[in-house]
Amino acid sequence: MITLLFGKDGRYSVLSGMEKMHSAVAASMGPSGRNFFFEERDNTYLSKDGATIARFIHGAGLIDKFERAGASLLRRASQKTEEEAGDGTTQSTVLAYAMAMRGKEFVNEGANVIAIERGMRKAYDEVVKHLEGLKREAKDRQAWENVAYISSRDRKVAEIIGEAMERVGPEGFIRVDTGDDWIDHEMKLEVKEGMTFPRGYTHDIEINDFKKLTCTLKNCRILVTDHQLMTENDAKELVRISNAVYAAGHKEIVIIAKKFAGIMIDFIMQTNSKFIATKGQESMRVLTIEAPGYGSSFTDEFCDDIAVITGAKFIGERQGGKLKYVTIDDLGTCQLVESSKKETHIIGLSDNQMAVSTRLAQIEAQYDNATGELEKRRMEERKAALTSGVAIITVGGRNTENIGEKKARVDDAKLATRCAYDEGIVPGGGVSYVKAADALALDGEESGERLGVEIVKDALLSPLMTIARNCCLDPEVTVMKAQNLLPEETLNMNTGRSYPVNAFNEGIVDPLKVLKSALLNAIETALIFLTTETVGVSIPEDKNGRPIMELIKGDAQDAIQPRRASKIFGGIFTAKKP
């Protein structure tokens, strides 16, 4: 059964869910932000991460389907920001809700929504220009630690992030993992020999980490070849190899080949589907990656480098290698492989370091003898891949709640620091938004566009006001102080009072990329709400065809008792599905 709400009624029902989402997320913002404690599937968790809070409230926190639709809409802002910048999820939620609240007044009074949209987008462009004028580069360890500290609110986390980026390089791979031994409560940093190259998994079904959208395998076997795997015979050979690996006690295999097509896609899907269905009891988990490089000779060289770092035998066509002769002894071993849509990180075994050093010496000699620019660039790419290294941060804790919350903060700090390196930093604590709001002019635009600019201008104050409120400070007084600051200054609110400091000297900074992403996604989300005139949800029916409400998550014992829709949605239009 489809239930519809129109106009103000529809927007207010959605806004109710947005308000509940905002209240929970906003409480975690700033140096004095509160924790969100929740239960899910008989486990309890603790979090200050906006995206985690939004996920729970959207998934299981609301019963009313209209409110859930509102929460889902607001979650969109935090999701997109997390995907683009890795941090700023709470800011995007606070901004989007503030814009929706301010904008609904104008829309309800009959303002031109299309003109409002133009005004909001123009305001975004002006804000970005102003923020660009405030930024400074973040190319040293001190700047990285400052950003990591603001994101995680933990000096130890900041120091480890700074050290990791210094040791593997700003663009090196940093993995955050959970410690196996909970007795060790401290975080550890370990840098291992590894390899990074710009190729990712072949098919989405290979994903096993749905938060980061990656496939991560540990202690797996690896087959490296430059063959194009497309035929039924190729699939049969891979089944044979996989069965041999499974019989040897391994349940995960990585296959790197020049191309996967035809029946091989069915092999990938069926193997991984069976692994998931049987929980690894009757099948292998397979990760397939197309070989890196361009041109036959370069692909061969790159694949041979992968074979060296993993201890595998390179099965090359030009070397006469054939799949039908491959045995388990020809496969390499990886401590860890993490593959996203665009790139893959491999960590080999420590006893292969001598072979890696020898290969690097060979590449250096080839580089010295190279005559063409293209050949030299290929050598540089191979050397960079082999020497990139991998930093592994292991997070320990006293219990599940503590470990999960700490790991989320370390992940956010890592991503925020990368954003700072990419596009620079600006004064933090919401102050840069306030400075940008002061620079927005309401003159010279048509009335509808002025309203759009006003919506953004007012919303830009909300992050600082939220932080001040959580610090038990007067929000309006705090905003007035921020409006009188110098361009390089911000407000320090760590001590329960606000006073001006140099943002860059004190390390109270935000990555510019995070602020831009949070604002843009907040505007996009608010515009969806403001341009909505009809809201529809699907209401389940009981066995007699009467509409009921029930929880989406959980099993039968979690469901609430059926109630008539007239008691919940009295007076609204209800239409059955055709």
> What digits encode the pLDDT tens for the residues 189-209?
888 777 888 889 988 888 888
Q: Are 257 and 227 contacting, i.e. CB atoms less than 8 angstroms apart? A: yes
The neighbour count for residue 246, using CB atoms within 10 Å, is: 17
Q: Is the pLDDT of residue 79 over 90?
A: no
The whole-angstrom separation of Cα 238 and Cα 227 is 12
Query: What is the model's pLDDT at position 546?
Result: 64
Alpha carbons 488 and 254: distance in angstroms, whole number: 50
The two three-digit tokens of residue 474, written as one number: 């007067």
- Rounded to whole angstroms, how far apart are CA atoms 208 and 215? 5
Separation of alpha carbons 13 and 7, rounded Å: 10
DSSP secondary structure letter of residue 35: P
pTM of structure: 0.72
3-state secondary structure of 170: coil
Give CA separation, 553 vs 40, 431, 524, 557, 558, in Å: 10, 39, 28, 11, 8
DSSP 32: T
Residues 25, 81: contact at Cβ < 8 Å? no
Count the alpha carbons within 13 Å of 67 in the hemisphere toward its beta carbon.
Answer: 17
Buried-state track 369-403, b at ≥16 Cβ within 10 A, e below 16: eeeeeeeeebbebbbebbbbbbbbbbbbbeeebeb
What span, in angstroms and rounded, lies between the C-alpha atoms of 459 and 526? 11
DSSP H or E run through 196: strand 194-197
CA–CA dist 377, 200 (Å, integer): 22
**Mean pLDDT of the residues in the chain:** 82
Which whole number is the average pLDDT over 103-125?
A: 92
Tokens 């606000």 label which residue?
498
Residue 431 has pLDDT above 70, yes or no: yes
Is pLDDT of 1 > 80?
Answer: no
What is the dihedral angle through the alpha carbons of 128, 132, 138, 143, rounded to the nearest 10 degrees?
A: -80
| pLDDT attached to residue 560 | 29
Beta bridge partners of 36: 47
Q: Lowest-pLDDT range, 402-406, 451-455, 564-568?
A: 564-568
What are the structure tokens assigned to 285, written together?
């988990």
Q: What percent of the chain is predicted at pLDDT more than 90?
A: 29
Model confidence at 222, in pLDDT bands (50, 70, 90)? very high
Q: What local confidence, expressed as pLDDT, does residue 63 receive?
A: 67
Residue 530, pLDDT > 80, answer yes
Q: How far apart are CA 514 and CA 473, in angstroms?
A: 25
Q: What is the mean pLDDT of residues 347-364?
A: 78
The tokens for 111 are 């303002």
State the pLDDT at residue 280.
Answer: 60
Token couple for 356: 């890696």
Q: How does 530-564 read in b/e, with b if 16+ C-beta sit within 10 Å?
A: bebeebebebeeeeeeebbbbeeeeeeeeeeebee
Cα distances (Å, whole numbers) of residue 48 to 101, 153, 394, 558 = 24, 11, 20, 26
β 499-502/489-492 pair status:
antiparallel
What gap in Å lies between CA 413 and CA 283, rounded to an integer? Answer: 37
Q: Tell me: pLDDT of 571 over 90.
A: no
Distance (Å, whole) CA 273 – CA 288: 14
Query: Residue 542 has what pLDDT?
Result: 63
Query: Does residue 575 surpass a pLDDT of 70?
Result: no
Round to whole Å and give the CA distance between 95 and 92. Answer: 5
Contact 235, 268 (CB under 8 A): no
Task: Report, as an integer, the average pLDDT of 39-56.
Answer: 75
Count of beta carbons in the 10 Å neighbourhood of residue 163: 17
Which of 97-101, 394-398, 486-490 has the lowest average pLDDT?
A: 394-398
Using DSSP bridges, classify how beta strands 228-229 and 344-347 pair: parallel, antiparallel or unpaired: unpaired
Residues in the chain: 578
Q: Residue 486 pLDDT > 70, yes or no?
A: yes
- 3-state DSSP call for residue 4? strand
In whole angstroms, give the CA distance from residue 135 to residue 488.
9
pLDDT at position 454 is: 93
Neighbours of 144 (CB within 10 A): 27
Query: Poorest-confidence range of 131-140, 171-180, 473-482, 516-525?
Result: 171-180
Strands 259-260 and 228-229: parallel
Phi, psi of 37 (to 5 degrees): -110, 125
**Helix, strand, or coil here: 177?**
strand
Confidence of residue 555 (pLDDT cuts 50, 70, 90): very low
Based on C-alpha coordinates, what's the Rg of the chain?
A: 27
Backbone angles phi, psi at 442, to 5 degrees: -100, 0
Which domains, and CATH codes, for the chain? 2-136+424-530 (1.10.560.10), 195-386 (3.50.7.10)
Please choose, from the candidates 463, 483, 465, the residue with its C-alpha nearest in 3D space to the C-alpha of residue 475. 465
Beta strand pairing status for 194-197 and 188-192?
A: unpaired
Average pLDDT in the 112-117 region? 92
Q: Are strands 390-395 and 188-192 parallel, antiparallel or unpaired?
A: antiparallel
Cα(89)–Cα(96) distance, rounded to whole angstroms? 11
Residue 290 parent element (H or E)? strand 285-290
Cβ atoms < 10 Å from Cβ of 305: 25
Q: How far apart are CA 410 and CA 412, in angstroms?
A: 5
